[in-house]
Chain A
């Protein structure tokens, strides 16, 4: 990779973006992913696209008959990014000719958005817009909870996880049942999944227990069991979340047993060098000691410890994104304007190894095709190629291939299900 910033690294340059859309963006794969089959269906033709143009002009309610049409328009407008919305009951581009309020969303992938900024109160390595390999650990933990929950609780199989280009991750669920969910049902999914509640001023953000019971809901128990294993590495060692006084005081606030909290506070005040891991051991030791005294006390402290694990690691979801069918979400493989990184799919099984700083950037990819084309020649970004050839697959020569192949494999799964549903229902029903 080049050390200094080259022309092609500038994602705000129109030439760079045109070259990217023309030669690298996998329109064909995105089309089949949205359309669930090869021949254009309503899933694509009635689908909303929104374009963000340089200078923050935002154009909603675009729709296209084919992938070629989409590509032509993208090249014409050259947006800094574009977003994908719902499938409507009519073509979104006909909105103006329709009766007011007649255009209504019908189908839409169920989407989730997890953003690092929601972890600012916890992570210690970066703040705000920053993200590094270390704080990706929170995203990885979130995926390890969400992915099995969506598959096992809801029975969905077609989940696409996509790096959002800067500091978070998106998930798109394309199962037929998920596509059909009403807003009310989407709200229900969020109610089922959401655990972290309350803003900055709420110390205890996890309230999941019915007072008379020690058992928590089995879905949450599964999350606790997953996160418990990741807790020492991420929270205690890497992020060192209880090192500073302010931090460990927050921890103590979350311990429901007042006597224990007081005892620990005295101990930690006396020993400011005590590490996060040692502090957590102290809490655990208190719990073990309680076991001898009485079960009720022990249960209470164990419950606090589980709640703490959840509060520090349970996925923090941006609920509004998921609740409404007509919400727009950035398309996979767009380029993040400030980082130049491509929003590539992430394999949930290897999410822990994913390095947000290592994903292909637009500049890197453009250099790769020029190397491929000119056999090691100098970078020459602007190459004239016919604009309306959707099958142009220069990405095959680049490190983007790995990610497009991932999407294609995912799409194969969706198409297989579509064929199965079609077979079962007789051919007629499949425009949904």
Chain B
């Protein structure tokens, strides 16, 4: 990389520790990192990756995907080009670099995690690559050997006819530079017959060069993850790190990233929520897990321990005060229970969950991730995530009975069930939200997927309020 251009580049950026926005992540970090940064950086990156994954599952176009990544990156993981001013680019890039390596540790631990992580990271890299400043990208590419050999003029002239016929994207073959690589490095181009093949060499037109780069990125990352997986057992001894890694892995598997925990009222005029409003709110705003708990409570006049816990904390965050909660549960149990028994066994637990007894913890309402992965419901229990824990038949029946009043029809079921079958439960839930709230397909909750039942309920109530506001203005 000699010559005036690269010299100028070097000069311009010599002060940057990370001279390029793009990164192949091929040098493991040597610096120390605080445990807090370790976790925070990883969670931020995971949010971006989780949204990428869910966008792919929902068959968004590449343009839509790009938009999603831009929004999410700006929020959680900004990464500016060298031309950006008054921004600490090294800090951004360090964050990007470290977060990638932390997630490698978390995502190397099963075949499934590795596969999904590689796919999401590949997409992120690809989008960054395509939106990168072209001079900066060129500069970045020059720092690596991709094993491509430029096809010389003689060979090009010999093969001109074949090259023309095999490169449908190239209009003027004479102006195009071709590179030779082993075909195994560009399987995507081979699969679509977009190159000329001779003795195992693929003749790649310059404009398809990015395929080689992406493939290199993927191969490199797959190899690195397998090596990390082998080395990881040594980390087992570090008791601070393992729980964080497990948490990150679970978060990615359940497809919801790591949702923010809702610990207290969601601020939607929650103080006004009264026990006798819950029936109507459940009908209009609850996600299926909470609808199921609510309906079971009404039907059986009882909920088992984990069901009470999941629903109780949810209601707390919705805005039901502790006094109203006691009224709500007392009435719900009705005549099946004496006052004495209720006060002794249940009232304490309710007050406890509001942080008024015992350790006085303000317990957060569980996220989708927790609901999906922890405390699997037994046959007589009603907690959990119906998308995860119901059989297909039962899920379809439950969906229709819960939401047909809000416009869900059998025609919506195939897409929902297909998301469930590929274990993207949050995608299924988001789809239901869209259908029942008249949201255009793919837009979700302001572009995000459902990651928390309270987020679902809050957004639903917010939409209702906004609609009311409009009505009032119109009058």
Chain A residues within CB distance 8 Å of chain B:
101, 104, 152-156, 177, 181, 184-185, 187-192, 210, 213, 215-221
| Contact present for A189 and B190 (CB under 8 Å) | yes
Chain B residues within CB distance 8 Å of chain A:
110-111, 161-162, 164-166, 168, 182-184, 187-188, 190-193, 196-201
Which listed residue (A104, A189, A217) contacts B165, Cβ 8 A? A217
| Contact present for B191 and A188 (CB under 8 Å) | yes
Which listed residue (A184, A191, A219) contacts B197, Cβ 8 A? A219
A210 partner residues in chain B, CB cutoff 8 A: 168
Residue in B closest to A151 when the chains form the complex, CB atoms: B199
| Contact present for A218 and B168 (CB under 8 Å) | no
Known: A218-B166, A218-B196. 6 other contacts (CB 8 A): A101-B110, A188-B190, A190-B191, A210-B168, A215-B164, A218-B162
A219 partner residues in chain B, CB cutoff 8 A: 166, 193, 197
Cβ distance B403 to chain A, nearest Cβ, rounded Å: 36
Given A187-B191, A188-B188, A191-B192, A177-B200 contact (CB < 8 Å): yes
| Contact present for A213 and B168 (CB under 8 Å) | yes
Which listed residue (B111, B184, B192, B196) contacts A177, Cβ 8 A? B184
B191 partner residues in chain A, CB cutoff 8 A: 187-188, 190-192
Residue in A closest to B110 when the chains form the complex, CB atoms: A101
| Contact present for B187 and A184 (CB under 8 Å) | yes
A218 partner residues in chain B, CB cutoff 8 A: 161-162, 165-166, 196
* A210–B188 alpha-carbon span in the complex (Å): 18
| Contact present for B111 and A215 (CB under 8 Å) | no
A221 partner residues in chain B, CB cutoff 8 A: 165
Could you write out 11 A-B pairs with CB less than 8 Å apart?
A: A104-B111, A154-B199, A156-B200, A177-B200, A188-B183, A188-B188, A191-B192, A191-B193, A215-B164, A218-B161, A218-B165
The binding surface of chain A is classed by DSSP as helix
* A222–B162 alpha-carbon span in the complex (Å): 11
Most chain B Cβ neighbours within 10 Å, of A155, A187, A210:
A155
A217 partner residues in chain B, CB cutoff 8 A: 165-166, 193
* A219–B196 alpha-carbon span in the complex (Å): 8
* A181–B184 alpha-carbon span in the complex (Å): 8
| Contact present for A155 and B187 (CB under 8 Å) | no
A190 partner residues in chain B, CB cutoff 8 A: 191
| Contact present for A192 and B193 (CB under 8 Å) | yes
A155 partner residues in chain B, CB cutoff 8 A: 198-201
Residue in A closest to B192 when the chains form the complex, CB atoms: A191
Cβ distance A183 to chain B, nearest Cβ, rounded Å: 10
* A217–B192 alpha-carbon span in the complex (Å): 11
Given A181-B184, A210-B168, A153-B111 contact (CB < 8 Å): no
Given A153-B198, A154-B197, A155-B200, A192-B165 contact (CB < 8 Å): no
Cβ distance B379 to chain A, nearest Cβ, rounded Å: 25
Residue in A closest to B161 when the chains form the complex, CB atoms: A218
* A185–B199 alpha-carbon span in the complex (Å): 16
B183 partner residues in chain A, CB cutoff 8 A: 154, 188
* A220–B164 alpha-carbon span in the complex (Å): 14
Cβ distance A208 to chain B, nearest Cβ, rounded Å: 8
Cβ distance A221 to chain B, nearest Cβ, rounded Å: 7
B111 partner residues in chain A, CB cutoff 8 A: 101, 104
Given A101-B111, A153-B198, A219-B197, A187-B166 contact (CB < 8 Å): no
Residue in A closest to B171 when the chains form the complex, CB atoms: A212
Cβ distance A218 to chain B, nearest Cβ, rounded Å: 4
B164 partner residues in chain A, CB cutoff 8 A: 215
| Contact present for A154 and B200 (CB under 8 Å) | yes
Which listed residue (B165, B166, B199) contacts A152, Cβ 8 A? B199
| Contact present for A187 and B184 (CB under 8 Å) | no
Given A210-B168, A213-B168, A192-B190 contact (CB < 8 Å): yes
Cβ distance B368 to chain A, nearest Cβ, rounded Å: 25
* A190–B190 alpha-carbon span in the complex (Å): 9
Most chain A Cβ neighbours within 10 Å, of B162, B197, B198:
B197
Nearest first, the 6 A-B pairs at minimum CB distance are A191-B191, A155-B200, A188-B187, A155-B199, A188-B191, A153-B197
* A220–B165 alpha-carbon span in the complex (Å): 10
* A152–B201 alpha-carbon span in the complex (Å): 10
A213 partner residues in chain B, CB cutoff 8 A: 165, 168
Cβ distance A318 to chain B, nearest Cβ, rounded Å: 17
* A177–B168 alpha-carbon span in the complex (Å): 28
Cβ distance B236 to chain A, nearest Cβ, rounded Å: 15
* A217–B164 alpha-carbon span in the complex (Å): 9
Residue in A closest to B201 when the chains form the complex, CB atoms: A155
A192 partner residues in chain B, CB cutoff 8 A: 190-191, 193, 197
Cβ distance A326 to chain B, nearest Cβ, rounded Å: 13
* A101–B111 alpha-carbon span in the complex (Å): 8
* A104–B226 alpha-carbon span in the complex (Å): 12
* A220–B199 alpha-carbon span in the complex (Å): 16
Cβ distance A427 to chain B, nearest Cβ, rounded Å: 24
| Contact present for A152 and B198 (CB under 8 Å) | yes
* A252–B197 alpha-carbon span in the complex (Å): 34
